[in-house]
Amino acid sequence: MLATVTIFGYYLRNLLGEDLGPLSTKELEQLEHQLEVSLKQIRSTKTQAMLDQLADLQRREQMLAESNKALRRKLEESTAEIPLRHSWEAGGQTIPYNHVPAQSEFFQPLRLNSSLQIGYNHAGGTTEMNAVAPAQDDPVNGFIPGWML
């Protein structure tokens, strides 16, 4: 066993470039060949690892591209539902407005007392608001309390 360890130590030193003086030309050529084979195996392993990593990155790129397409499609669908957003992005920042005149049966102005007073009444000592409710013959047919005016 000690002899085997000694021989391996000798080979290791030779591979590291030490103790090459006593070697013959044939032994140096064998050592060179062994180093070339080892270097070729290391390069092959490194190349395979890089190819595996490249294939993994290409798979991830394809998955991200598909995810990007799905998100873009979803965004286009959601923006298609909102037509005003497209007009805004296109530069049409104005929204069309059509004025609809008030119809007389829905709008009836209040008849207010022109002497509306808000605040302290010197005569009675109370706060009062003088407003006239719509007449009973109006089609609104209701009463608006004074506090709402």
Query: In terms of C-beta distances under 8 Å and separation of at least 24 residues, what long-range contacts does 100-109 make, across chains too?
Result: 105/139, 108/134, 108/138, 108/139, 108/140
User: What sign for the dihedral angle of Cα 122, 123, 127, 128?
Assistant: negative
**Best mean pLDDT range from 23-27, 67-71, 76-80, 104-108:** 67-71
What is the C-alpha separation between 31 and 7, in angstroms, rounded? Answer: 14
Does this model's pTM top 0.85?
no
pLDDT at 95 (0 to 100): 58
Whether 122 shows a pLDDT value over 70: the answer reads no
CB 149 within 8 A of CB 131: yes
Task: Kindly report which listed range (19-23, 65-69, 125-129) carries the lowest average pLDDT score.
Answer: 125-129
Beta bridge partners of 127: 120
